[in-house]
Chains A and B, each alone.
Chain A
């Protein structure tokens, strides 16, 4: 299925409590080599037809205005899988 994948991450300088909790658990399980964990979101937009350039432009806008909040998050990638 053709899709656009939007990935959203908490801003680098913000505390990511979910990532921190997972990092702590990994350290308890002996993975001290992992220095940090950050958790973001992968959002798939599915299409019943091939994805066009204007779909990608729209997805970028949707990503910045709705799927993420610019105060706390960044859209780190918008990719197409046709």
Chain B
């Protein structure tokens, strides 16, 4: 099961995402921003970081990269695509997901273990969760405030396209506490928090059981492997 992980100039979490894929049992395939070839991957992860230095707008220049042309075409054909943090920003700038992400309302970078509710499990990236399940994964961003116009928000809520919602604490002013979205088809999912940082005991968020033992992010990577196998 080949999961592509894209590296843009300024991407930071590509190695962590590759590692998460391998821990989940998949084969991680490095994809390069300037190479439009997707190398026959079964799914794609757009990892976090600061692609192209966040110049112009977060994700805006990455959205124009050669590899994105192929990813947009493949995503419209049903290829599972996950955007994490900067990857979510790239998906929004690519118009694969609606709305926009602006500077946190608190005006600071926020880094914390973040509680989320999984709102939608009918996607290849979330099918391993139960609907309404509470999970905790790290969040680290400066521009994670999700916004959209009232009509778009109404549609997102009405059609069940909110995939993840912040629970107990909204860290960045996102409207409707939106932490992540899915597209109509369900194959494209984007979220600001970082599931790839909660996949291995000793390196994840603290839990009631033990320090740094949280593995909630692993379910996302296992979900896509299951859905690709069953497809």
Q: Is B99 on the interface with A (CB-CB < 8 A)?
A: yes
Q: Does B56 contact A (CB under 8 A)?
A: yes
Q: Report the interface size class on chain B.
A: 10 to 19
Provide the bound-state CA to CA distance between A73 and B57, in Å: 10
Segment from B102-110, B158-166, B183-191, B204-212 that makes contact with A: B102-110
Q: Which of A14, A20, A72 lies at the interface centre, i.e. has the most chain B CB atoms within 10 A of its CB?
A: A72
A2 lies within 8 A of chain B by Cβ: no
Decide if A71 touches B149 in the complex (CB within 8 Å): yes
**Contact status B64-A66, CB under 8 Å:** yes
Contacts of B92 in A (CB 8 A): 71
- Given A21-B107, A71-B100, A72-B100, A14 and B60 touching (CB < 8 A)? no
B100-120 vs A, CB cutoff 8 Å, 1 = contact: the mask equals 101111010000000000000
Which of B100, B103, B105, B107 interacts with A69 by CB under 8 Å?
B100
Identify which of B57, B99, B107, B147 contacts A17 (C-beta below 8 A). Answer: B107
B147 touches A14 (CB 8 A): yes
B34 in the interface, Cβ–Cβ < 8 Å? no
Q: Please provide the chain A residues from 1 to 26 with a CB less than 8 Å away from any CB of chain B in the complex.
A: 10, 14-15, 17-18, 20-21
Which residue from B104, B107, B149, B173 sits with its C-beta under 8 Å from A20?
A: B107
Q: How many A-B residue pairs have CB under 8 A?
A: 34
Residues of A within 8 Å of B148, CB to CB, are: 71
Closest to B148 in A: A71
As a 0/1 sequence over residues 45 to 82 of chain A, the CB contacts with chain B under 8 angstroms (1 = contact) are 00000000000000000000011010111000000000
Which residue of chain B has its CB nearest to the CB of A73?
Answer: B57
A14 touches B107 (CB 8 A): no
Is there a chain A Cβ closer than 8 Å to B13's Cβ?
A: no
CB nearest to A20 among chain B residues? B107
Chain B residue with the shortest CB-CB distance to A24: B107
Residue of B nearest to A68 (CB): B57
Complex Cα distance, B99 from A20, in Å, reads 23
**Apart from A10-B102, A17-B107, A72-B102, what 14 extra A-B contacts exist at CB < 8 Å?**
A15-B103, A15-B105, A15-B173, A17-B104, A20-B107, A21-B107, A66-B56, A66-B60, A66-B64, A69-B57, A69-B93, A71-B99, A71-B148, A72-B57
